[in-house]
Amino acid sequence: MRRSVMRLVRSAVITIAALAVSLPAAVAAQGAHADEHRKFDAVAMGASVMLGAKSHLKAAGVTKVDAVVNRQASVGLGLVRERGASLPEHVVIHKLDAVAIGDSVMLGAKSQLKAAGVTKVDAVVSRQAYQGPRLIRDRGASLPEHVVVHLGTNGTYTLKMCRRLVRAAGPARTVYLVTVKVPRAWEDVNNRMLRRCHAKFRSDQVVLVDWNSVASKNPEYLYADGYHLRPQGAKAFAQMVREAILTPRAPYLDRL
């Protein structure tokens, strides 16, 4: 019965990602013949799409469904924090309207970023920063609202490249520029450039996400090469990205 409910939910085009353990995984863990009246220690948070599936989610065993019309993604982190110690073991959330573009560092966190709600992760080994603007332009109108970019690990990243990248995304999207942590001569140069690029645009259009600071304070996040991610580093990277996307921001036009 639960599996048929999950098929119904999927057929309604409800895409939900688990922050810790997903609802489908929880269903599978119960087994095909689990007691259909057994509840999960779970809360589902979302907007009108999830609201339309509320009864199905409840039937599938979700303890609490907190879904309202016109809810914005930016309130998600606050909703989780407000529950504090009462937060259930499992939290089910809508996916973020986000794409993450990067190199082998981001590739090491691909599964963690997907689990954190990032819709698409486009990361490949040895990617150069100059490729960023084209990768964004190629997505055209399908480019999501949030564009996370982690480039600059493999070589020089100029201000001109960065500005082209932001302009390729357009004023209706928010670009998240992730600083680099790499033991190479260009690390400091690229990070200074990213800060300059960030300062050239509205604060709701370009957000600086300081992975360099996080990784420098937590060397255990990285393998011996000093930049690729261990599992705990991948988890921290994904959490940092998610929190950056969910943080509300007001536009500061004086920065133009």
> Using one digit for the tens of pLDDT, what is the confidence trace for 26-59?
444 444 344 444 566 778 877 776 777 788 777 7
DSSP string, 106-142: HHTTHHHHHHTTEEEEEE-TT--GGGHHHHHHTTGGG
Query: Higher pLDDT residue, 15 or 104?
Result: 104
Per-residue pLDDT tens for 206-223?
A: 999 999 999 999 999 999
| 3-class state of residue 35 by DSSP | coil
44 in Cβ contact with 76 (< 8 Å): no
Going by C-alpha positions, the residue among 250, 53, 22 that lies closest to residue 117 is 22
Bridge-based pairing state of the strands 16-18 and 90-94: antiparallel
Least confident of 2-11, 77-86, 99-108: 2-11
Q: Is the pLDDT of residue 155 over 90?
A: yes
Whether the Cβ atoms of residue 183 and residue 223 lie closer than 8 Å to each other: no
Integer distance in angstroms from the first to the last C-alpha of the chain? 56
State the residue for tokens 């688990």: 18
**CA angle, corner 200, sides to 199 and 202, nearest 5?**
85
**Which of the listed ranges 6-10, 44-48, 194-198 does the model predict with the highest average pLDDT?**
194-198
> What gap in Å lies between CA 183 and CA 187, rounded to an integer?
7
- Quote the pLDDT of residue 76: 64
Per the CB < 8 A criterion, the answer to whether 27 and 2 are in contact is: yes
pLDDT for 43: 81
- Of residues 91 and 164, more confidently modeled: 164
Task: Check: CB of residue 102 under 8 Å from CB of residue 125.
Answer: no
CATH T-level assignment (fold) for domain 97-255:
Rossmann fold (3.40.50)
Alpha helices of the chain — where are they, by DSSP H? 2-11, 23-30, 48-52, 54-59, 76-83, 104-107, 110-115, 132-137, 159-169, 186-199, 211-217, 231-246
Q: What pTM, to 2 d.p., does this model score?
A: 0.68
Domain extent listing, the chain: 2-94, 97-255
Cα separation, 201 vs 160, whole angstroms:
13
In this predicted structure, what is the pLDDT of residue 39? Answer: 67
pLDDT band at 24 (very low <50, low <70, confident <90, very high): very low
Specify the residue for token string 């201000």.
159
